[in-house]
Structure 1
């Protein structure tokens, strides 16, 4: 500590001394520079006067010659030339007069001026008296005096010039000395600074080593925490999800009343435990600042309807009403984080139902304002439950707070739910408030702003459509796709459109097939082994010189993906997972007659079933609609999915151990397509995050967390899909 203080004092004193010395040198150097500048100006003036004096002497001699010529010949031409030189001579005198004022040569100059005017008067007298032309004048004596005076002045100017030159040399030398002194002081100061820094370097190195060690320990602790959280998620969530999944299956078997009671207790306890675990994990991520808010396009109305469906059975079991009201002017598609919005609303609705035994629960979605393509939505969750004591309203969002111990004893929970909700709302730049009256119920008000999305704005409903087969000459389609599930699905769709299809498993095979056979259109997956879709499309355009339509198929969600595909020579773009109608529409643009799709006679819309169903991982209805209700097609899709996905899961697990980002990115991309087609679109978000982080070679713990979320839901999906296969086999599946 003493060393540090001593060093600081030395540095401060040295700096002050250096500043004073440099300032002193700068002032003196500037003083001499000013003198040198003045001396240079004076020297220039003396030189200029010396030159003028030479010109003057020349002019006066010319005047003398012109005067003599006029006297001898009487020719007026000499007189005219004389007048011109007379004017110049007077100008020279006037120019020099200002310089000689106050100078040693001033008396000589005025003598010269007097002699000059005397000389000029001689000619004036001659011109006035023509008889005097022959009379001798004392002009020669005057000229002699003028020349001697000019020589006298020039000699004095020479001495002055020499003095000025000597002064300039002296000033330059002095300035040079001051500069050398300034440089010397600078060098000494620099050397002193180096000496001080060298003395301090050991202390700095020691501090740097300690800091590096502390940072390394902090990073290791953070990594251990991340790994622990990931393991916690996997090791606890997975078996708990399995317990819940098999409990649902067991519930469909024949049970007596006692067994049903036991099973219901298992389901309730497992669900509560899983919720507690999820709350703890989310709370830890929020506290660590590791919870990210995404910006993706989603259907807020579908999200709210799914929320209602999720809690309908629970509300019905308590014999309370459960309503959802959405304002008519609510935009269908918005940009935001559907997962976190869903998490907020699930928590609030779950609490509302849990604390309500009479009356019911309402979810209201209102539009507060719409400005500049941004909508401010207000979500109100009203219940007629037990309410909150006035004294507890201000602390209801505090962590580990449930109002009182009686609430915890009667209803359970950790007291983290509302704290997490508040954090999630604030992370989305929103606001949450609560109104409550004990014994009359509560109202939680969430206000969030979202940019309005116009991408899918026309997809308000899914129509049952009959696709006209393409007529005329048989059209050949080349499907470049490496995912088996996608191959089967697309092939069945294309066959239904009346199109012949050949499959290429990668870009290289696709190029060879195009060389050997004529195709009317290419469906090109972007990410394939050996040769990707971008490169294949470029070869088709630049080397094969083919102008057939090439349609990109990709699961990438980046907003500039379409433009990138177009830049490689592709004609259009379809995002995976795609619907049959979307595939037909994009192909019809190039191969069809451009007429709109025909709809079935009844033109009915597929509507959500009003029957209450438990929340499932797989959207079976979407899967059935995707396969157009054909059991054989559905069975084939499920079988291929159950065969392919375990391989991808294993590959990712091995890649996580080896830090193999390339494999993680490839498998996540392939799984995104598969789960999208299999009615598990909610997994597109974690898989997309895995893919983006893997491309950036960044954040393996976050990749691990997302992967375990996928794996957990996959475990449940296996159970649900096997149940569907069993129903198909027993012919009990309701299509």
Structure 2
């Protein structure tokens, strides 16, 4: 019977039943002060961490448990002191109360220098090791240094918090509990957690976070666990230390074995042997079973709570992302709308009687607005890059035009800094490529703007060279150099981090968001390119971007045909330029045009070469390329000297190279006898087109002015009507001022409801609707849906400042199938509206009169091949246009069959490439019907929309056959 009683007592102790109160152990030699203290303070208030497992925590029933609890029980037994836990506190609250003396002791803390200011510490009674916890898929983290620059989760006010605070290279994410921090690492919200091995091991096994692993660091260091007592009670520290000294190693091992080790159960062997001798074995098994059932239920409840918390976190993240997208959309709309007014009004002023200098000032206003737009785009691009939603275009573009656009934007800043700018481009590399021209422009703008910002003296240069060639792909190196402040190795390491700048003073001295280079790096990576940085502090920096670009064979061939047909080798040229490097650049460009030239840096030498009687040249020069700064008296004075020199029998045509930002000189060109002025730095295509203009060769020139005659004649003949639904009065004025002069009749609606009412009243006269998306009363989406119930055919064009992902898709779902983004280019705006009306009208005529031969013939002429439009694209060069048509006919003979095979085999990306190529070339020759069909078919192929593909493929094939037949019968 006595044996059974002992067994039951053992079980009660194991299962955590309430402990008994004990008298003071008089075998310990207490001092009078210690005895007096224990009499005066019989109750010690404790502040505990409710989730510091396995050291201290509350179980499901609210009982205080853990390693520390067992040590406290021994201390109570040996001292007679009652240890009372202050209930209902988090660890942060308990710590704060301890700082203010509202609790007497923190029983499970580590010692830090900061804490020693507020507490007295006992001898350590337990040791643990500090570890890093990461997801099991995370690689490359073996020490604390590998986490520099990243965010690390840690429990607030813990010793690990104090430890990590000494590392400014780490960004700390503070949590109220270890369990919450570990859950954040497990679900990917955090990269890593730093804590002690015992706690993390216990929590990982008890909560089922199976996708985590430990990384040991500072293996030789062990962290101690202490009792921390208010600093005005030193006597209590002596009492605790004396009590701890009486605890035997066997007792310490028993406590440790009880709580540490996720899969280790207590050794019940001796107990079982005793129970085998008595009839109480059934009671033992029953009690153990109940214990494990309760523990299992607790684990299940914990896992359910974790899953619930994860679901709540996911919903909160989605809600936050929605709010972020909504904010970006609204911000974009609110800023882009006034920008549209700035660019629109500047364009309208340019159409009035202004001087050339005023026109250039207006151009600068437009460029400044575009610069502001680029800042908005930086923020939006960074957001898209973060979300992985940014997409690259693949369209044909002219590299020289990209360079020209970049220089137009950066020239003001370069002139403001009073530094030089040099451009060199290998004239032998092709000029026409497929790719995303806007993103390449964005990369170069960021790099050159950055170089300019940090350069006070010297120059910035852009050099474009061919690195290698593989078939039709050209590997180009864009090198941006500056003579600015340079960077240290440490600054270069963080150069491409978002919002990071060289040091704290950079933002104060130079400004900027710190996003530019981060976006550059992301864009270069997306283009599968490389970026390299070389810099020396105080001497300057060099950025080299290598991109692989596919040559646009057809466009490049057309360009070369133009060059070869102009007989530039008959134009005898003299170049007067004082800088040897620029002279060599001009020589290389002219050589690429097939021209031969004479070079000189002396104005006296140039005069002698132009004087036929004394010179050695038997034929006069046709062209003089003159740098304005080279002659001592200025370029205009030199030209005047030539014109007055009677020894010169034939005055050459003159191209004058003008300094950057000297717009005032352009107004003087005509009166000074200069044929054309070209701003420096010299761009090959600009120089080429300048020569074309002087010698009146029929070709397309860069930056040609918008001509009203490019608008289809049927626009003027039919007096088409346009309904503009827009709540912004300035934008209404701009749209009306742009559309009415080219022959459109315009109605204005202030909101969606007014737009619907106006359409009902004038539906027979309105041929197209321009619809803003954000308006009062009814927004653009709602208005479009109601208009679609009145007419399924009327083209509706979204005119909005929204650039957020999903806007176009939402437009399509509401019946809006065309899209113009604000701020828009005025000329492109009018041209786009004209083309939409022409195409839509032709399709409607064809669908309304399918049986009429006459109407079919008209529709075929309009929709299949618009020769007049194609000729415009060829500079009205009839011979060139016929050559291009013949090449198009030959190249596309088997497109219909190849496309059918690709679609049949499910090779949609290959098919999309075929359609894209046809779309590009079809638009260039005026085949608008095929162009429009190809545009929507390409999108369907890229998204794999089989229903749309099945619907559009026959229309594409039929349009291609009709086009080839039309070209053949021409």
Greater share of strand: 2
Q: Which has the larger radius of gyration?
A: 1
Structure with a larger share of its residues in helix: 1
Q: TM-score, normalised by structure 2?
A: 0.30
Which one has more relative contact order, counting CA pairs under 8 Å at least 6 apart?
A: 1
